[in-house]
Structure formats: C-alpha cells, structure tokens
Amino acid sequence: VFSRIISFTQEGAYAARGVIIFSNSYPEITQQIITKLGRGVSQIQTTGAFSKEQGQAIYCVVSPSELTSLKRIVEAVDKHAFVSILTVNEAIGEGFTYAQPQRSFFKRRF
C-alpha cells in the first residue's frame, strides 16, 4: 500500500491504458471501437516470429473507465483475440488533453 501511495505521489493522478489487440477480426474490432467508444485506433503491421504469418495489431489508448467496454467489444467479436493492456504514464493529444483557459491574477482593462 505504501509503495502505491509513493508511486501515486511521484507519477500523479494521471491514468490511461494502452491496449494492443491481436486478432484476425481487426477490421470489425476497429470499427466497433471507433463507433461505440469514440476512440481513435492505430493499426500496426505485424509478423509472427514463430509462424512468420503477416497480420494486423490494433493499438488504442482508453481511460480506465472505458477498459471494460473495450474488453467486451473485443470478446464479442473474437473470443480468441490476444489482448495486452499497458499502463500509460502520459498521453498527449486529442481526447486526452484539453487546452486549459489561461487565467491571470490581474485582469487587464482596455
């Protein structure tokens, strides 16, 4: 518990999950993620080291609250998909960062 508190203090409260999905049903999974979660998806060209088969992997970054929905989408489309879930320390870009209004202590009068 103490180590988790220290990590939280050092790393901050930011939380996101990077998900890599390996499935032959990648087109349908991709479409479902885009339409149901409204998240962007990247497709990565893959080659199996043992099988030498070409394929596609899906990479998506979601908030922890969206993770269950994402896993349900994948399971509904392909029960045999391989899913790797990673902790993301920081995600910068549309959907994860928003421009904060600049506030000044002193208001300018023109």
What are the tens digits of pLDDT across the range 21-57?
Answer: 999 999 999 999 999 999 999 999 999 899 999 999 9
Range in 5-14, 57-66, 98-107 the model is least confident about: 98-107
- Average pLDDT score over residue span 2-13: 67
Q: List all residues 6 or more positions away from 18 whose beta carbon is below 8 Å from its beta carbon.
A: 59, 60, 61, 85, 86, 87, 88
Helices marked H in 1-110 — which ranges? Answer: 2-11, 26-32, 64-77
Domains of the chain and CATH, by start: 14-61+69-88 (3.30.70.120)
- Looking only at the bridges linking them, the beta strands covering 42-47 and 82-88 are unpaired
Kindly state the percentage of the chain with pLDDT values over 70.
Answer: 77
pLDDT of residue 14: 64
The number of angstroms, rounded, from the C-alpha of 76 to the middle of its chain's C-alpha atoms is 19
pLDDT at 75: 97
pLDDT of residue 98: 44
Note the pLDDT of residue 110: 46
pTM given for the model: 0.75
The pLDDT-based confidence of 101 (bands split at 50, 70, 90) is: very low
